């Protein structure tokens, strides 16, 4: 099984299954002498861990990271860095009745087509549990470009939409819905969906400030192309747009000239140093009805995906930053 590694000068290789002993990641290419903080890493993991956010899965994992290599006396060594998070609340018996059932939309059928075997316990490698490794990688990537500011937030969950640009920076752990006056209604809505065994999709908006200029290559390794691959590789992510996105079809050229916002801070595939704006869409979780009520499933992916989206963007920028630095050295 290939396709578990992402990045070039800075790369992550994720491993583990949803109900296996542990999830983990090997990060290669990190510069030496970067100071690390387990508290900061744990805080990032806490933003996506099961059982933390209201209206999401009842699976409760502490997600405590264990660094196995690549760190000495609180600093990176420049050698491969390996971190694991042990699975402790799997309850694989919940999936025994699904052993011979192909759940539509989960990849059960295509996994059997491809490999001739599958781990039916929680989806195995196809589970959203894999994203814990991406959050770890994103945290260490943040040490490479420390001035980078990324704000991701839910802009749509079902019928709830935030129709204004969230212009203020915030560090609220519940960034999945930063509009405080409607947050309670959204949480109630998710709780009700969970009781009904229903699910819903949504969107995540992203704003990136302080991105260095000159990142990205003119042809295949455009910065926006790597953003797209990174984000669309997240389970349940179905679409990606940058800048004005699909609204461009109604624009005249005169509206785009000297208007960097419509391009999302990237021109010719290369970052300009201007603010980058992105948006991604997530489909409703496929497990619904009685199967959802019996198991422990998210009625909406978006709340716990916010930090995953941030992490992948951070990793892409850090990788391209090191590549650009190599040019200049």
Determine the Cα–Cα distance for residues 185 and 190; give it in Å rounded to an integer. 9
Q: Indicate the pairing of strand 270-271 with strand 160-161.
A: unpaired
| 240 Cβ neighbours under 8 A, 6+ residues apart | 227, 228, 231, 232, 278, 279, 280, 281
Q: Give the single-character DSSP code of 16.
A: -
Quote the distance between the C-alpha of residue 128 and its chain's center: 10
Looking at residue 256, what is its pLDDT? 84
The stretch 234-247 carries a mean pLDDT of: 93
Distance, first Cα to last Cα, the chain:
36
Question: How many Cβ atoms from other residues are within 10 Å of residue 290's Cβ?
Answer: 8
How far is the C-alpha of 303 from the C-alpha of 301, rounded, in Å?
6
Per-residue pLDDT tens over the stretch 150-199: 999 999 999 999 977 665 555 555 567 888 889 899 999 999 998 888 99
pLDDT in tens, 190-223: 999 988 889 999 999 999 999 999 999 999 999 9
pLDDT at 126: 82
pTM of the model: 0.90
Residue 251 main-chain phi, psi, to 5 deg: -85, 150
For position 40, what pLDDT does the model report?
Answer: 93
Instruction: Supply φ then ψ for residue 226, to 5 degrees.
Output: -70, -35
Of residues 252 and 58, more confidence is placed in 252
pLDDT at 34 over 80: yes
pLDDT score for 133: 97
- Residue 153 pairs with which residues in a beta bridge? 205
> How much of the chain is in helix, strand and coil states, percent to nearest 5?
35, 20, 45
Across all residues in the chain, what is the average pLDDT?
Answer: 87
Pairing mode, strands 160-161 and 71-72: unpaired
Residues 100, 112, 16, 25: what is their CA dihedral angle, to the nearest 10 degrees?
A: -150
Distances (CA, A) of 298 to 44, 175, 256: 19, 17, 40
CB atoms within 10 A of CB 229: 13
Sequence spans of domains, the chain: 5-328
CATH topology of domain 5-328: Chorismate synthase, AroC fold (3.60.150)
35-82 per-position pLDDT tens digit: 999 999 999 998 887 666 666 665 556 789 999 999 999 999 999 999
Whether residue 94 is predicted with pLDDT greater than 60 in this model: the reply is: no
pLDDT for position 75 = 97
Residues in the chain: 329
Among 24-28, 90-94, 106-110, 320-324, the range scoring the smallest mean pLDDT is: 90-94
- DSSP letters for 42-93: HHHHHTT-TTTSTTS--------EEEEESEETTEE-SS-EEEEEE-----GG
């Amino acid at each position: 099984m290939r396709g578990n590694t992402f990045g070039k000068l800075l790369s992550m290789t994720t491993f583990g299954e949803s109900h296996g002993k542990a999830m983990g990641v090997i990060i290669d290419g990190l510069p030496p002498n970067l100071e690390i903080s387990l508290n900061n890493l744990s805080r990032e993991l806490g933003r996506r861990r099961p059982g933390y956010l209201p209206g999401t899965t009842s699976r409760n994992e502490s997600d405590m990271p264990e660094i196995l290599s690549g760190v000495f006396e609180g600093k990176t060594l420049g050698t491969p860095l390996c971190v694991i998070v042990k699975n402790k609340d799997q309850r694989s018996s919940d999936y025994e009745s699904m052993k011979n059932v192909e759940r539509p939309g989960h990849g059960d059928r295509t996994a059997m087509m491809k490999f001739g075997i599958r781990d039916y316990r929680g989806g195995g490698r196809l589970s959203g549990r894999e994203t814990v490794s991406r959050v770890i990688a994103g945290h260490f990537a943040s040490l490479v470009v420390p001035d980078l500011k990324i704000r991701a937030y839910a802009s749509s969950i079902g019928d709830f939409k935030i129709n204004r640009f969230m212009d203020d920076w915030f560090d609220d752990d519940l960034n999945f819905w930063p509009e405080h006056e409607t947050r309670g209604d959204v949480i109630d809505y998710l709780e009700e969906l969970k009781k009904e065994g229903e699910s819903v999709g949504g969107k995540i908006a992203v704003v990136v400030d302080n991105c260095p200029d000159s990142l990205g290559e003119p042809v295949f390794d455009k910065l926006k192309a790597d953003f797209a691959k990174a984000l669309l590789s997240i389970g349940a992510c179905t679409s990606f747009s940058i800048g004005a996105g699909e609204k461009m079809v109604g624009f005249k050229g005169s509206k785009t000239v000297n208007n960097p916002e419509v391009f999302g801070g990237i021109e010719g595939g290369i970052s300009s140093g201007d603010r980058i704006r992105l948006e991604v869409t997530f489909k409703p979780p496929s497990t619904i009805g009685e199967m959802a009520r019996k198991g422990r499933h998210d009625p909406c992916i978006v709340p716990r995906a916010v930090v995953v989206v941030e992490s992948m963007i951070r990793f892409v920028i850090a990788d391209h930053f090191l590549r650009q630095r190599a040019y200049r050295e």
